[in-house]
Amino acid sequence: MTPAVELDCRELPCPRPIIELGRHLADVGVGELLAVVAHDPAARHDVPAWCRMRGQEYVGEDTADDGAPRFVVRRLS
C-alpha cells in the first residue's frame, strides 16, 4: 500500500489523530489512500469507526518505516 498522503500523528494524543484525518481527507483524491501514523492506542479503534461514520473505506493497518502503527483509509467521496 502506497498512500498518496501520510499523516505523522505519532506524538498526538487522542482524539487528535482523528481530527487530523478529518482535516486532511480532502488532500487526497477520491480513490486514493491516506495513512495516519499514530502511537495513540485508541487510533486502532477510532480510525475504522470514523470511516464507518463518514462513509470512507478502512483499508487496514500496517507499519510505517520506523515500525509505528499506520492506519490506511481510502477516500470514497
DSSP 20-70: HHHHHGGGS-TT-EEEEE---TTHHHHHHHHHHHHT-EEEEEEE-TTS-EE
Catalytic residue annotation: 14
- Per-residue pLDDT tens for 13-44? 999 999 999 999 999 999 999 999 999 999 99
Q: Answer whether 9's CB lies under 8 Å from 38's CB.
A: yes
Domains of the chain plus CATH, in order, are 5-74 (3.30.110.40)
pLDDT in tens, 54-65: 999 999 999 999
